[in-house]
Amino acid sequence: MKVEYGNTARGDEGGYALDVEDARIPLELLMRAVEKVGVGEKIRFALDIAASSFFDSNSGKYKIGDDTLSPAELLSVYKSLVREFPIFSIEDPFEENDFEGFAILRKELPELIVVGDDLTVTSKTQLEEAINKNAINGIIIKPNQIGTLTEVLDTMELARENLVECIVSHRSGEIEDSFIADLAYAFGAFGLKSGAPVPKERLAKYNRLIEISE
């Protein structure tokens, strides 16, 4: 599909992926979409930055298009986006070992939910470090990332004890199993991250939530 903002393709998780370098463009399109259907006042956005994917460990900087940004400059970008758009959460804003960067973002934008995924990898040990460093107030929970359901529940329990919101999540290479929907509901998780409800492996989770609600 061709649009005025470039080519689009389906991402791994069923959503549209724009071939653009300016982070504001997809957010502007989303704003136009929610306003067009009359729900602009009800919708807020959550960003998954996956900053490790564009971090250069040699320079300690982030490569975005033609720009190379320091952690401080990237922080300024986030602050600008939060001022401009109704963003309530940012996941993995800095590379996966930068607990300090996460903590600075939390301090600078205390109203934001700063979410760890690559930072915490559903690990109780990693979560403990993040809590001690005040790095996050949200965590992605992926049951098959850590190994056993017992370990998952231990991590979720530690998160709840420390007021860290749990977001149960799919993986990029997903199957039709819908267990994560049950886990999110049973635990009373803050959210469930399942992708766009188009591919059958994504839709299965939403259908399971409907079954639970009925």
**Maximal C-alpha separation, the chain:** 53
Strand partners, 115: 91, 138
The C-alpha atoms of residue 59 and residue 163 are separated, in whole angstroms, by 35
The C-alpha atoms of residue 73 and residue 68 are separated, in whole angstroms, by 9
**85-102 residues labelled b (16+ CB within 10 A) or e (exposed):** bebebbbbbbbbebbebb
The answer to whether residue 142 is catalytic is yes
Task: State the catalytic residue, choosing from 79, 108, 142, 151.
Answer: 142
Residue 205 has, within 13 A of its CA and on its CB side, a CA count of 24
Judge contact between 164 and 139, C-beta under 8 A: yes
DSSP letters for 103-163: HHHHHH-TTSEEEESTTTTT-HHHHHHHHHTT--SEEEE-HHHHS-HHHHHHHHHHHHHTT
Which residues have a catalytic role annotated? 13, 142
